[in-house]
Amino acid sequence: MIYPTPRAAILMAAGLPVTLIFAVFFPSLWTLGAAWIAGLVGLLLLDVLLSTSRRNMDFEIDAPGSFYIGETEQVWFKYDYGSGPAPRAPECRLSVNDRFSVKPHHFYGEAANGVLLASFDLKTERRGDGEIERLWTRWQGPLGLVWRQAREELELQIPVVPNTRLVKDKAIEIFSRDSTFGQKIQRERGEGTEFEALTEFVPGMDKRAIDWKHSARHRVLLAKEFRTERNHNIVFALDSGHLMCEPIRGMTKLDWSLNASLMMAYVSLKIGDRIGYFAFDQKPYFYSQPIAGANSFPHLQRLTSSIDYSHNETNYTLGLSQLAQSLKRRTLIVVFTDFVDTTSAELMIENMGRLLRRHIVIFVAFRDEALEKLLQVTPLETDDISRAVIAENLMRERDLVIARLQRMGVHIVDVEASNISNAVLNKYLELKRREAI
């Protein structure tokens, strides 16, 4: 597309009064006014001929293969115009879908050495399939009288995945401290549930490990040695309902949950356990069978991109019942969800009790930082007192729900969003050492 610049419009407008004056007062000189317009049109055509055409440019894009949620990545666009005239005053504008936000809104670049470069910072707002839709670029001719505009239909699909960059670093750090635990078959006194061998009892060994039957047969005290079990099934049950879509510190609760689950998954796969995912809102919509092997982590990362945000209310009865039917062996279930009061949590508590009959459950809750801030504010007005009383009642109801779950035998993780990854992993390692799984 080619169209005049503001400079050309001003010059054209400036010629009109001159032409009108000549036509009224000096009719014999009206050709001078016409010559002004004709000359300007000629300059416009000359500017078009001298400017670089889009057909003479090679276009390239440099973008990451995937984006991490909550981070900002830079995308570069390159026009190679070779030895032709440099585009003057180039401008670019990028169009993306709702998974990204773009800065700057307009890019004002400069062409040099046969190349026109443009860069935009894309900040990820939501997980899912991000798309860089199109790029508009325009530049002036050497005389600055015309714009040449090009539109690049990119339609570049880039997945926005949970942030595993920090997850991996932290998981490797933690795993290095626990690398001897669960990684190999070990002979640890008093730990494990799988029989390994019989050995002669010596002072200092756990007396509960004595095998009295074999000791009587061999007429010497023999004790059992056990090995640490592996290949446990672990399933992360993620509530993706409307309460989990609430943003906390730049990310939704669902994204914080996914980061925590992936950190634990990384360590669990290294140890030798099997990891699966289950997601539900008003109904179950995603389930992956538990898989093993450290090489499976990229596959799990891609799977989590299918767990999307929802504005529906969570149906615990349908979701957790379907999860119980899908599990064929004893499993560690890590439930990430949120609730408001005891009324909305009643069905959740009931279905948690059904899961506990066969499985072990870790319940992950987010500390409500907004309510805690209301309790810490010094009341200066009547409204401050009202808000504090309501916040106190909601916090009390929340604590009642967590206390009921603890009495049922559910393992509770109740921390702030920024500490949730470490807390979930520490709870898992604690249960692993206790052989509770």
Counts for the chain of helices (H) and strands (E), in that order: 11, 21
Question: 326 with 342, same domain?
Answer: yes
Q: Is residue 150 very low, low, confident or very high in pLDDT (cuts 50, 70, 90)?
A: very high
Question: 105 with 120, same domain?
Answer: yes
Helix axes 382-408, 342-356, angle to 10 degrees: 10
- Low-confidence winner among 138-147, 191-200, 215-224, 351-360 (lowest mean pLDDT): 191-200
Does 187 map to a domain? no
Query: What is the spatial distance between Cα 234 and Cα 363, in angstroms, rounded to a whole number?
Result: 13
How does 100-113 read in b/e, with b if 16+ C-beta sit within 10 Å?
bebeeeebebebee
Does 323 map to a domain? yes
Across residues 373-384, what is the average pLDDT?
Answer: 79
Q: Is residue 375 very low, low, confident or very high in pLDDT (cuts 50, 70, 90)?
A: confident
**Whether the Cβ atoms of residue 138 and residue 131 lie closer than 8 Å to each other:** no
* Structural domain count of the chain: 4
Write out pLDDT tens, residues 69-100: 878 899 999 999 888 788 888 999 999 998 89
Does 29 map to a domain? yes
* Residue 180 clears pLDDT 50, i.e. is over it: no
| Average pLDDT of the chain, as a whole number | 83
Residue 384 tokens, joined? 């401050």
| CATH code of the domain in which 90 resides | 2.60.40.10
Point out which residues pair with 222 in neighbouring strands. 200
Question: 16 with 135, same domain?
Answer: no
Write out pLDDT tens, residues 99-146: 898 998 899 988 888 899 999 999 888 887 889 999 999 999 888 889
Question: 73 with 7, same domain?
Answer: no
What backbone phi and psi angles, to 5 degrees, belong to 86?
Answer: -70, 135
Does 103 map to a domain? yes
Query: What is the spatial distance between Cα 437 and Cα 433, in angstroms, rounded to a whole number?
Result: 9
- pTM score of the predicted model: 0.68
Q: Is residue 188 very low, low, confident or very high in pLDDT (cuts 50, 70, 90)?
A: very low
Q: What residues make up the domain containing 217? A: 198-227
| CATH code of the domain in which 275 resides | 3.40.50.410
Of 174, 208, 227, the position where a domain reaches its end is 227
pLDDT score for 196: 63
pLDDT score for 29: 65
* Residue 339 clears pLDDT 90, i.e. is over it: no
